[in-house]
Amino acid sequence: MATLMQQRVAANLPLGTGAAALQMVSQASFEMVAVRQRFIEAHRALVDVRTEIGLGQFYGYGDTAECPPNEGALRLATEFDAPVHLAAVA
């Protein structure tokens, strides 16, 4: 976005040049952050539902570990007490 604005100035184009595109990119970025937050909230809700209907932690796309925290810094897999295993299930 900064490059677009810099190039508009360098080309001596009117202030409104590219404004619609900048607005679309800005809005899309905002919406991506909002979508990410909704996925985090849905993950929490699905964990609760799984418990409520008695499925336990072994129903979750092959994940047999506790869910990682939604807050705090990310950690490397080597920093966990137990090995981290990913599995794909059909």
Contact 21, 4 (CB under 8 A): yes
Residue 1 falls inside a structural domain: no
Please tell me which residue, 44 or 29, carries the higher pLDDT value.
29
**What's the structural domain count of the chain?**
1
Residue 62 falls inside a structural domain: no
Note the pLDDT tens digit of each residue in 6-32: 998 999 999 999 999 999 999 999 999
Residue 47 falls inside a structural domain: yes
Residue 43 falls inside a structural domain: yes
What are the start-end ranges of the E strands in 1-90? none
Please tell me which residue, 6 or 70, carries the higher pLDDT value.
6
Return the pLDDT at 90. 47
Q: Worst-scoring range by mean pLDDT, 8-12, 51-55, 85-89?
A: 85-89
The pTM of the whole model exceeds 0.75: no
Q: Domain residues for 37?
A: 28-56
Residue 34 falls inside a structural domain: yes
Residue 40 falls inside a structural domain: yes
The DSSP annotation for 75-87 comes to: --GGGSSS-----
Contact 66, 42 (CB under 8 A): no
